[in-house]
A = this chain, B = another copy of it.
């Protein structure tokens, strides 16, 4: 039996794709940055099938690349491997195995779409807090493998903080059972933590136990015009203290970012009368109704008084709230109308974001005069999407050809500030070389040792995260 026949026998012939046309969607990602190739795509229906596939692939010396919803921004799921690999797509493994509102836990298979999990939790009066732009199609296995961030990290943490247990198929096909709903377990090394964020290079996540929270019953949203990014941090600290730590979003928006959305996105309106160089979108939510509005109003009144805020608008309806969020969420789309954009997903200690923006702006302006900084994002987490639009009238291709040089300029500032060159998107294939450039040799050495300890033949998603040379 050929190895393809073995794969087909495991998943059933119609779930093993080998034709060019069938394979095509599995070889690329949305933005067309990577084009892979694959021996085949298998769509297993169970953990046992994943284990059998990995065992067979391992015996044949074939690498495996796991795929979820293919919404990753760094190409971690694109099978761009030295030799053609077997792609393992989790889309058929999409059952919710259990939802326990007493435990506040949700036990799911890796192929569940994030939005489906959010809805299942809500139906039981619970909140699954992970929320991000791709939630309608990304799958939870990929979210966990990349330790996805999103808009609720400030209050609920990254995906890492929402996972209690995992089931993982290892490089040799054995199934590791860490699928436990334990809030406390100090019996040895944190294997679950190691698999989270390892981007499929240490094993394939097949199921997870996730944390739920009480569903918020009150939500208050304000857009605040502020003089500088420091004011956003001051407001955040005051709002956290005043609200019982109920701030669930704190998004910084630069004037230029706002102007871009006002200019290019239909139906957007100037949200506040006072024109300031910066704005911050604050959202508070809690399952204890009453009091949040008052807490937010007090914080804003004091801020308007002492100059921390220069103007503010509170959402009076769900429609107004949606409109405020639309201003923030359409920034990347609006940027496309201004020509090429070179992007950075960077983080520093929250208190140092103002300094980061200042230093990085200085550095890129010196490196590429006329470049237009479009800074926005999760300032409450210290995470800024430091995007750069091309100089007005510049040639788009010539500008984008500067991508790597400008990345290095920005990442060098980040490095000097003890920051991260990938706050929430991961490394994938996009940032492997840059990671190798900026990470200390000792970190890379430790990562290599762990990789080889768990995947000695380098068959799990080779080429992602680490270049083993």
Residues of B within 8 A of A440 (CB): 177
Which B residues touch A183, using CB under 8 A?
A: 153-154, 347, 350, 381-383
| Set B100, B189, B431: member contacting A447, Cβ < 8 A | B189
Assuming the contacts A350-B102, A453-B450, asked whether A435 and B187 have C-beta atoms less than 8 A apart, the reply is yes
* Complex Cα gap A350–B181 (Å): 8
A213 to chain B: which residues have CB within 8 Å? 245
A117 to B451, CA, bound (A): 36
Q: Is the CB of A186 within 8 A of B153?
A: no
Closest residue to A456 on the B side, CB-wise?
A: B449
Q: Chain B residues near A177: list those with CB within 8 A.
A: 440, 442
Number of residues in A with C-beta < 8 Å to the partner? 94
**B288 and A347 form a contact (CB under 8 A):** no
Shortest CB–CB separation between residue A164 and chain B, in angstroms?
9
Residue of A187, A198, A288 ringed by the most chain B CB atoms within 10 A: A187
In chain A, positions 151-173 with a C-beta closer than 8 Å to chain B are: 153-154, 157-158, 160-161, 170
In the assembled complex, A264 has its CB within 8 A of some CB on chain B: no
Do B420 and A351 touch (CB < 8 A)? no
> When the two chains form the complex, which single residue of B178, B184, B451 contacts A424, counting CB atoms closer than 8 Å?
B184
Expressed in whole angstroms, the minimum distance between the Cβ of A343 and any Cβ of chain B is 15
Find out whether the CB atom of B187 lies under 8 angstroms from the CB atom of A422. Answer: yes
Contact A181 B424 (CB under 8 A): no
Q: Hey, what's the 0/1 contact readout for A84-103 against B, CB within 8 Å counting as 1?
A: 00000000000000001111
Nearest chain B CB to A384 CB, angstrom units: 11
Q: Measured between alpha carbons, how far is A328 from B343 in the docked complex, in Å?
A: 54
Which residues does chain B contribute within 8 Å of A435, judged by CB atoms?
187-188
Please tell me if A307 contacts chain B, counting CB pairs below 8 Å.
Answer: no
Closest B residue to A127 by CB, please name it. Answer: B245
Chain B residues contacting A149 (CB-CB under 8 Å) are: 184, 186
The segment from A236-244, A253-261, A359-367 found at the interface with B is A236-244
A370 within 8 A of B: no
CB of A9 within 8 Å of the partner chain: no
B158-A184 in contact (CB<8A): yes
Q: How far apart are the CA atoms of A178 and B466 in the complex, in Å?
A: 18
Contact A190-B187, Cβ < 8 Å, known A242-B287, A295-B288, A349-B100:
no
Give complex CA distance A347, B186 in Å. Answer: 10
Question: Which of A157, A243, A287 neighbours the largest number of chain B CB atoms within 10 Å of its CB?
Answer: A287
Q: How far is the CA of A442 from the CA of B175 in the complex (A)?
A: 9
**Chain B residues positioned under 8 Å from A422 (CB to CB):** 185-187
Bound complex: CA A244 to CA B213 (Å): 10
The answer for the CA separation of A241 and B177 in the assembled complex, in Å, is 31
**Does chain B have a CB within 8 A of A45?**
no
Instruction: Find chain B residues with CB under 8 A from A378 CB.
Output: 184
**CA–CA, A348 to B381, complex, Å?**
32
A334 and B240 alpha carbons, distance in the complex (Å) = 41
> Is A369 interfacial (CB 8 A cutoff)?
no
CB distance from A329 to the nearest CB of B (A): 19
Cβ of A374 to closest chain B Cβ, rounded Å? 20
A404 to chain B, nearest CB (A): 17
Q: How does the 8 Å CB contact mask read for A135-151 relative to B, with 1 for contact and 0 for none?
A: 00000000000110100
Q: Given the complex of chains A and B, what is the CA–CA distance between A392 and B406 in angstroms?
A: 76
Q: Which of A184, A185, A442 has the most CB of B within 10 A?
A: A184
A194 within 8 A of B: yes
Which residues on the B side are within 8 Å of A443 (C-beta)? 176, 178, 188, 191
Closest 5 CB pairs of A and B: A244-B288, A193-B193, A181-B349, A244-B286, A185-B420
Q: A: which residues have CB within 8 A of B?
A: 100-105, 125, 146-147, 149, 153-154, 157-158, 160-161, 170, 174, 176-191, 193-194, 196-198, 202, 213-215, 233-234, 237, 240-246, 286-288, 290-291, 295, 347-351, 378, 381-383, 418-427, 431, 435, 439-440, 442-443, 446-447, 449-454, 465-466
In addition to A146-B186, A182-B423, 12 A-B residue pairs with Cβ atoms within 8 Å of each other are A104-B350, A153-B183, A176-B446, A177-B440, A181-B418, A186-B426, A188-B447, A189-B197, A189-B450, A193-B193, A194-B450, A290-B291
